[in-house]
A and B are shown apart, each in its own frame.
Chain A
Amino acid sequence: MTRGTPPDQLVEHALERSRGHGCVVLLDESRTANLRWASNTLTTNGATRNRSMTVVAVTGDGPGASAGVLSRCVADTDDVAALVADAEAVADASPPEQSAMPLVRGAASPQFTDPPAESGIDVFEPVVGPLAEVLAASRTDGIDQYGYAEHVVTTTYLATSAGLRHRHVQPSGHLTVTAKKDAASTWTGVATRDFTDVDLGALDVDLRTRLEWSQRRVPLSPGRYRAVLPPTSVADLMVYAYWEMSALAAHEGRTVYSDPGRGTKVGRRLTDSRVSLRSDPEHPGQECSSVVLAHASSPVSSVFDNGLASPATGWVEGGVLRALVQTRHSASLTGLATTPGVDNLVLSVDGGTGSVRDLAARLDEGVLVTSLWYIREVDPRTLLLTGLTRDGVYWVSGGEVVGAVDNFRFNESPIDLLSRIHDAGVTRPTLSREWGEWFPRTSMPALTVDGFNVSTLSEAR
């Protein structure tokens, strides 16, 4: 046993111990830190360190190969040797896997031997002081704040028996705050890579403005209304639309992107022609892996594709569906280009200008949403989603917020909404309230859409 072995050496050790036809090794070194508060006082917190190795042991060659995929925390070379042996035993006992392909060949990156990136509870130093001030001011002013800050840095070491050596560092962080005063509630959130750019004071000003808007109540009846959706809510809807973009599922005939029984809708008009939806590993401030890092196979990723380039891809361009999320296997079935998923998402609308406040100022009459919540699929044929507004909906008249209305349940399809755009803002980084925890890198404009379905009202505040 060799404790303190560097991560790249543990990965090399795994490959050396491999006795099968092929082997893929992913080692994830993660560091997390979090702070959580409620009613202006800290509730829980934590700092964790984790090292998990995934071994894909391949038995057989090319199509017809079996994969034993096993992930486990590892401390030393003995653990690694046991993991490889166990993964190979699983591979030997497994039937061939559908998406089996030759392993990805590649060169060794010089960064592969670098140590993992570090983080700890001290990452919050830029915000702890301001947070204490904000909480103190909230107590004075009768406002209750509830919030959460999290930082995660994961360094992934990927190596294959076909020669590839790749290291990827992924920082992710976010801070979200809910503020309550009397019967009013509101929310804000930001994504960040390191907390140096989080302006708690500015967030607090925004929260206080919204609480002020809630002092006056305005009645609302179910029906269809012009609605301003902030970037966070647009992200909620677009992330779901992206998660449904499995080329394999579309090909089988089970999604909104299917031409059932015939194939996919790739090449067809899907939305307003001003719309484009793209992913780009180099998107500024939201950089993510430019190669496939697959810890398990699913309809949208294959362990055999580990290390495959995942370049910038336009999913929807000029309103036309251009690509769906592929593995090499699904690309061969669908006859479309191999366009792997990318871990960020950028929506833009040609001609969009301004912020969510600007869109509200340009609105004659309608609702202004703060955030959406509990979004679930009702009908996959149209991608009809249900969900609710949360922490404040406001009525806008003549470009001015005149008061708060009840929260409400909607039933809407994000695809359909992209054909009902009345006004659009400029694309900017945002945190999806519902999905940001799993998909933190999104850039979205605010959108004003026509005929938003206020299905039933909710008295939740």
Chain B
Amino acid sequence: MPLDPSFASLPLDVLADAAIDRARGLGASHVDVRVERTRSRHLSLRDCVLSGMHDGEDVGVAVRVVLDGTWGFASTVDLTPEAARQAAETAVTVATMSRPLTKRRIELADEPAWRGTWVAPYALDPFDVRVSDAVAVLADYSERVLAHRAVTHVTATLDAVRENAFYADSAGARTLQQRVRVAPVLEALGVDPDAGSFDTMRSLAAPVGRGFEYVTGEDGVHDWDAELGELGDLLAERMAAPSLPAGRYDLVIEPSNLWLTIHESVGHATELDRALGYEANYAGTSFATPDRLGSLRYGSELMNVTGDRTVPFGLATVAWDHEGVQAQQWDIVRDGVLVGYQLDRASATLLPGGPGRSNGCAYADSPSHIAIQRMANVSLMPGQDDRSAADLIGDVTDGLYVVGDKSWSIDQQRYNFQFTAQRFYRIRDGELAGQVKDVAYQGRTPDFWAGLAALAGVRTWVLGGAVNCGKAQPGQAAPVSHGAPTALFRDVNVLSTLEEGSS
């Protein structure tokens, strides 16, 4: 896709020069300017009928300065040189007011001043699709699901985003980028009046950095026909399934569920700003502290995790971050040992014996917010031999096969987690033995990953992800993907949510 000319033709350099010149004139040692436009669309259908639509467009100029070792940030929605200069002045005022509260001077890791343009690979811009055509696709999907006798109601939602981002700084960097993402979700509700109960079953199509071709299935990435065809049966099976007693079980976890466990127990735990305590008042800290870099045993020797801002179609994939740092891929856990963190330019200077360079993990969710250290696509590498999910299930005598994410929660240091799933299947003697319900799996991060006993091969590897990861004050939402193969974990604590809820 070409870069949108209506963005490229904005007076980007003029705005950047106005802000940079003004802030430097007022004494700033570093100035960066982001001009961004984000288009968003939300569509929701209830029982095949449009129940809500909203299109949004967020445009603005963000100016960040370092003045006397202190940050100052301001933004404006007015794309004029005068407004950009005013934002630069406000950023300097904010820095000046903040100076007495600042004890540690801000230092920024060096980065070459990149210049270039990048457009993510996608075929059909979701904003080139008429609302009526998008609704027609979702209505068709909804009708197919609602046709099943077990389905009482069906909801469908589609979220789509197109981002344009221009970055410039006082060192001379100038980059221009464009990317899209889509998140289609279908959920079936079954109501059983006789039992006075209900349950849901949701599609597993992950949100991705792809165009509308992913929603229609034209690109062959997600098999919508198969999934829509089986959703009603899967729901009916679960509603009739037995409740599982609590106990310890071996778990074979699909990437559709494991991505979220990786996100919570590895992704957030290896953000350096968290490990340094910057998020102590909000998102939390981390047990994986910098003094344990190179020595902390995170999991079994099978565990290899990378941070990656380059993987095609990843939700956190870019060419340069919001501090002008080139996108990279690096090791976070190698052979089960913590070896790396996610960094921005300020935190990269605080890592003892670290790389001395940011690995490109700074970004903001809108021009109204300051760039902070955010998550790369953090992914678990597949096994070397070409094992299948069935091979892993074959290694289990009494366990569960876990499919699709649902509920999630983890403590602020990233130790104690509890997850549920769209589907839990009982495994008996190496075979699937039908769905069970009322299940949650719970663990302590290093113990859970120490139980990683087998990895399936690259053919099972899938990018899952989320579009709404929350962090920072003021709160920012971020899209991020996580790749994983199907994997086997031994001896995991499994709760009965029925027993948990019985006072």
Which A positions have Cβ atoms within 8 angstroms of B? 32, 34-52, 67-73, 75, 86-87, 90, 93-99, 121, 124, 128, 131-132, 135, 139, 144, 146-148, 150, 176-178, 180, 185, 187, 224, 248, 252-254, 258-262, 295-299, 373-382, 384, 386-388, 390-391, 407, 409, 411-413, 416, 420, 437, 451, 453, 455-461
Could you say which residues of chain A place their CB within 8 Å of the CB of B130?
93
**Which residue, A94, A147, A248, A437, has most C-beta atoms of chain B within 10 A?**
A94
1/0 contact trace for B409-448 toward A, CB 8 Å?
1111111101010000000000000000010101010000
1/0 contact trace for B169-209 toward A, CB 8 Å?
00000000000000000000101110111101000000000
Number of chain B residues close to chain A: CB under 8 A: 90
- Distance in Å: Cβ of B140 to nearest Cβ of chain A: 13
Are A456 and B102 closer than 8 Å at their CB atoms? Answer: no
Summed over the interface, the residue pairs from A and B with CB atoms below 8 Å come to a total of: 293
Q: Which 9 pairs, one residue from A and one from B, show the smallest C-beta to C-beta distance?
A: A261-B193, A460-B413, A297-B52, A411-B500, A296-B54, A253-B191, A458-B416, A41-B103, A42-B101
- The reply on B24 being an interface residue by CB < 8 A is no
Q: Which of B93, B101, B197, B409 contacts A381 (CB 8 A)?
A: B197
Are B101 and A254 closer than 8 Å at their CB atoms? Answer: no
Are A96 and B369 closer than 8 Å at their CB atoms? Answer: no
Are A43 and B407 closer than 8 Å at their CB atoms? Answer: no
- The reply on B153 being an interface residue by CB < 8 A is yes
- The reply on B60 being an interface residue by CB < 8 A is yes
**Which residue, A262, A297, A379, has most C-beta atoms of chain B within 10 A?**
A379
Are B420 and A378 closer than 8 Å at their CB atoms? Answer: yes
- The reply on B58 being an interface residue by CB < 8 A is yes
Are A72 and B411 closer than 8 Å at their CB atoms? Answer: no
- Distance in Å: Cβ of A181 to nearest Cβ of chain B: 12
- The reply on B57 being an interface residue by CB < 8 A is yes
Are B71 and A373 closer than 8 Å at their CB atoms? Answer: no
Are B500 and A131 closer than 8 Å at their CB atoms? Answer: no
- The reply on B294 being an interface residue by CB < 8 A is no
Which B positions have Cβ atoms within 8 angstroms of A? 42, 44, 46, 49-60, 70-80, 90, 93-95, 97-98, 100-104, 130-132, 135, 152-153, 189, 191-193, 195-198, 200, 276-282, 284, 287, 368-370, 372, 407-416, 418, 420, 438, 440, 442, 444, 473-475, 493, 495, 497, 500-501, 503
**In chain A, what residue has the closest Cβ to B132?**
A93
Are A39 and B58 closer than 8 Å at their CB atoms? Answer: no
How far apart sit A97 and B281, CA to CA, in the bound complex (Å)?
42
How far apart sit A413 and B500, CA to CA, in the bound complex (Å)?
10
Are B44 and A128 closer than 8 Å at their CB atoms? Answer: no
Q: Which of B74, B372, B409 contacts A375 (CB 8 A)?
A: B409
How far apart sit A258 and B279, CA to CA, in the bound complex (Å)?
39
Could you say which residues of chain A place their CB within 8 Å of the CB of B97?
45, 121, 124, 128
Are A384 and B501 closer than 8 Å at their CB atoms? Answer: yes
- Distance in Å: Cβ of A245 to nearest Cβ of chain B: 17
Are B46 and A98 closer than 8 Å at their CB atoms? Answer: yes
Could you say which residues of chain B place their CB within 8 Å of the CB of A258?
198
How far apart sit A121 and B90, CA to CA, in the bound complex (Å)?
9
Could you say which residues of chain B place their CB within 8 Å of the CB of A132?
100-101
Q: Which of B59, B73, B152, B276 contacts A46 (CB 8 A)?
A: B73
Contact flag A455-B281 (CB < 8 Å), given A51-B77, A97-B50:
no
**Which residue, A35, A41, A46, A93, has most C-beta atoms of chain B within 10 A?**
A46
Q: Could you give 13 example pairs across A and B, Cβ below 8 Å? A: A41-B101, A47-B74, A48-B75, A52-B77, A96-B50, A121-B97, A253-B198, A254-B200, A378-B418, A378-B420, A437-B475, A451-B503, A457-B416
- Distance in Å: Cβ of B276 to nearest Cβ of chain A: 8
- Distance in Å: Cβ of B150 to nearest Cβ of chain A: 13
Could you say which residues of chain A place their CB within 8 Å of the CB of B53?
67-69, 90, 94, 97, 296-297
Are A32 and B192 closer than 8 Å at their CB atoms? Answer: no
How far apart sit A386 and B410, CA to CA, in the bound complex (Å)?
10
Are A95 and B132 closer than 8 Å at their CB atoms? Answer: yes
How far apart sit A248 and B90, CA to CA, in the bound complex (Å)?
46
